[in-house]
Structure 1
Amino acid sequence: MSNPTCPCCSAPASAPLYEVRNVPVHSVTVLRTPEDARAITTGDIALSLCEHCGFVFNAAFDGAKQDYFHDYVSTQAMSPVFNSFHKRLALDLIDRHGLHGRDVVEIGCGQGEFLELLCTLANNRGTGFDPAYEPGRGLPDGVRIIKDVYSRRHQEAAGDFIACKMTLEHIGEVGEFVTGVREAAGDDARRIVFFQVPDAGHVLAENGFWDIYYEHCSYFFASTLGYLFARAGFAVTKLRSDYDGQYLMVEGHPAVGAVLGDAVPPPADLARTIAEVRRFSREVPQILADWSHDLKRHKAAGKRTVLWGGGSKAVAFLTTLGVTDEIEAAVDINPEKHGSFLAVTAHPVIAPEQLRGHQIDRVIVMNPIYCDEIAARLRDLGVAAELIPVTTVLARLAA
């Protein structure tokens, strides 16, 4: 079999460097019975690396298996930590780009939380696109959301500011998609684009196998993200990380007169990216073995362990490790998820209050940025469990 073609630059990519079989194609679909959870459609992960541009992608990805239109719950709006970040980000963009009384478009807007912030904080008008949007939630005046996947047929809705947060990583043909956004933006250099994606450098530095799942078919390092936008004809004006290094953000505007494909990946950045991907490929098997041993050892000792976070990270953690009764449940603060079951493994998703009065020994936190928030909640509930960030080096836990 020939090596796959890179969706970012069209160069030949490597054979898969990291593989996981039979993982759910969706991780945050609300599944109301264990039977539904076990019966969810599955696919394979086969991460390949493009040594020309540094893009990492799932060569086994099949978008036809996915359905974002039904029971898809991915909001983080229940967390005060996340809400504070979201508002700070919106105010920063409004201030730096003079977004007052302007037309704003958000691609992959979810339930519209960020779009609403951009509009209500500065009297802007907003149009969002997302197949998972649930009509009837109520929107402010001047904001509308179209329950559909953004594509070239929606290019007329370009606006003055185009935002796309935590969506590009779900798209297989990233080069084609960003080129389509560039076409929609036209040649008006005053039109700003802002994209946010998970930082693959952060994921791999933590050996974060729990952040690799089917829905995320595209993985970006900073230099690759900048290259993708420059190659599509954008002038990149800002490239940074935020949210404790978890998110990459790129900003730019149409580079009038740019020739598509003229950009060149920075050689030094590319070399570092290649080295980091190959290091992860070498080291992750031992990380998986260590976690599997840790969970089995504590289960055998009669310790009761739960995960905190009933989303994609939890599903990837459990399915990659093949966990069964070593974990009792996943705790989540989103009421929409309570009473549901995680994809494939069918672990129950419970409310924090359900921990009260139970002897829980360990709580594995799937996103350590929320550790302080979770610790406070556990104290309020009277739960004296050990709090373990999933990023913890397991040698520290050996007893």
Structure 2
Amino acid sequence: MQSIMCPACGSAGMDVFYELERVPAHSVLLLATREEAVNYPRGDIRLGFCRSCGFISNTAFDPSLHEYSERYEETQGYSPTFNAFARRLAEYLVERYDLRGKDILEIGCGKGEFITLLCELGENRGVGIDPAYVAERSLAHPADRVTFITDFYSEQYAHLRADFVVCKMTLEHIHHTAAFVGMVRRALADQPQTTVFFQIPDTTRVLEEIGFWDIYYEHCSYFTPGSLARLFRRCGFDVIDLWRDYGDQYLMIEAQPGSGMGRAFPALEHDLERTAADVETFRREAPQVLQRWREYLAQQHAAGRRVVLWGSGSKGVAFLTTLGIEREITYTVDINPNKHGTFMAGTGQQIVGPAFLRDYQPDVVIVMNPIYRDEIQRDLTTLGVTADVLSVEMFGRAASALVGCA
């Protein structure tokens, strides 16, 4: 058997612990017909764990399947909960690094909301780079001081100078992580005072809660705090801060070009043994958690109860395709109006707006991200919907606990 090299540290022998076949290669593209959604190109997932650095990677990842284009609809900017978090984070960064009248670069800027916010708060100048940026679908209204480049970040943009570099929810989409972070470090070779800020999903929670809905094809790279800090140090950054936010869903790192030493964060970084144990728990319990979900949804369907998902993004696609759910759930709900009338990749459920539920009156609403539960409950109450509201995270944790007691 061929030894698998770790994309983060170069060590051989990644241990594959979770496999899925033929999952949609994208989960947030706007797919106009059910036929297109069901037949969208697919790839395999084989998650490998590096026992040397703690990094987790889809060892079967094929980047040629990806389509980061104007159809890519990743924004969370229609949620008041998310917008409050984004503003709080932007205000924190502006104050902490005195980002006033500065040059800011955002790698993977999406629809441009965050860099626009940073520039507005501190009267900064910004450049955002993302192949899926579409001005017409952005919620931001950038001033003349913000420029967008519709492309992937690469060596050709190394000349762009910045006082502050932002990269939010992008590194998890990049397979060769060390090569990418190393490229950013080389671009800052003569800018030692420039600070970089990266935000990614924290895999610790995914492993501990058997969060299979957070494993999908776009995410080929999975980090814990320790594996992220080790990567940045290995690539020549000094770590300034390392922390979690947004209900411990997001992992944040702040760093500057340096010797690779910098501050240490023992409580967060010394997680290699814990991650190895979590991987083994996930390997052992995931099949049983999936089976419990299938049984629950089959029971609801047999009883004639209407079940909808709230959240049509990647979590929703991963939930439906991993479980193979089609007839048990007919609709998914999303507050993003750009998605209404489109269809879920892989399984083909139609995406509808919240107002649809006023007449549909579901019996069960499965919330795909628990941090939005209160926001969703308020919307359901306003619509006169009295369904059972089930958090996918809580059900996954409960299922895992039941497995442990069996």
Same fold (TM over 0.5): yes
Residue 267 and residue 94 in structure 1: after superposition, are their counterparts in 2 closer, same or farther (change >3 A)? closer
* 1:332-347 equivalences in 2 (<5 Å): 332-347=334-349
TM-score by length of 1: 0.95
Q: Deviations over 1:119-156 (max 9, x none)?
A: 00110000010000014455211101100000111111
Q: Which residue of 2 aligns with 1:37?
A: 37
Following TM superposition, the consecutive aligned residue runs of length 4 or more in structure 1 with deviations greater than 6 angstroms are: 394-398
Is residue 54–residue 221 contact of structure 1 (8 Å, CA) maintained in 2?
yes
Matches of 2:94 and 2:133 in 1, distance apart?
Answer: 24
Q: Which residue of 2 aligns with 1:262?
A: none
Q: Which residue of 2 aligns with 1:253?
A: 256
Q: Deviations over 1:252-301 (max 9, x none)?
A: 1000x559xxxxxx994211111111111111110000000000011101
Equivalent residue for 1:383, pick from 380, 385, 406: 385
Matches of 1:395 and 1:159 in 2, distance apart?
Answer: 43
Matches of 1:276 and 1:82 in 2, distance apart?
Answer: 28
Equivalent residue for 1:222, pick from 206, 209, 225: 225
Residue 284 and residue 355 in structure 1: after superposition, are their counterparts in 2 closer, same or farther (change >3 A)? same
Give, as a single letter, the amino acid of the residue that structure 2 aligns with 1:366: M
Q: Which residue of 1 aligns with 2:169?
A: 166
Q: Tell whether 2:95 aligns with 1:98.
A: no
SS at match of 1:176: helix
SS at match of 2:356: helix
Give, as a single letter, the amino acid of the residue that structure 2 aligns with 1:309: G
Is residue 40–residue 344 contact of structure 1 (8 Å, CA) maintained in 2?
yes
* 1:1-399 equivalences in 2 (<5 Å): 1-136=1-136, 139-255=142-258, 257=259, 268-393=270-395
Deviates more, 1:379-388 or 1:272-281: 272-281
Matches of 1:308 and 1:229 in 2, distance apart?
Answer: 36
Q: Deviations over 1:187-229 (max 9, x none)?
A: 4331000000000001111110000000000000000000010
Is residue 315–residue 368 contact of structure 2 (8 Å, CA) maintained in 1?
yes
Give, as a single letter, the amino acid of the residue that structure 1 aligns with 2:345: A
Q: 1:251, CA displacement in angstroms?
A: 0.3
Is residue 28–residue 72 contact of structure 2 (8 Å, CA) maintained in 1?
yes
Q: 1:394, CA displacement in angstroms?
A: 6.4
Matches of 2:398 and 2:59 in 1, distance apart?
Answer: 35
The sequence identity of aligned pairs, in percent, is 49
Is residue 290–residue 394 contact of structure 1 (8 Å, CA) maintained in 2?
no
Matches of 1:96 and 1:70 in 2, distance apart?
Answer: 34
SS at match of 2:393: coil
Matches of 2:160 and 2:131 in 1, distance apart?
Answer: 16
Residue 332 and residue 234 in structure 1: after superposition, are their counterparts in 2 closer, same or farther (change >3 A)? same
TM-score by length of 2: 0.94
Instruction: Output the aligned Cα RMSD.
Output: 1.8
Give, as a single letter, the amino acid of the residue that structure 2 aligns with 1:77: G
Matches of 2:397 and 2:44 in 1, distance apart?
Answer: 30
SS at match of 1:121: helix
SS at match of 1:127: strand
SS at match of 1:250: strand
Matches of 2:317 and 2:396 in 1, distance apart?
Answer: 20
Give, as a single letter, the amino acid of the residue that structure 2 aligns with 1:392: M
Matches of 1:167 and 1:268 in 2, distance apart?
Answer: 24
Is residue 103–residue 160 contact of structure 1 (8 Å, CA) maintained in 2?
yes
Q: Deviations over 1:54-75 (max 9, x none)?
A: 0000000000111102300000
Deviates more, 1:139-148 or 1:171-180: 139-148
SS at match of 2:200: strand
Residue 258 and residue 224 in structure 1: after superposition, are their counterparts in 2 closer, same or farther (change >3 A)? closer
Q: Which runs of 5+ in 1 are unaligned?
A: 260-265
Q: 1:185, CA displacement in angstroms?
A: 1.3
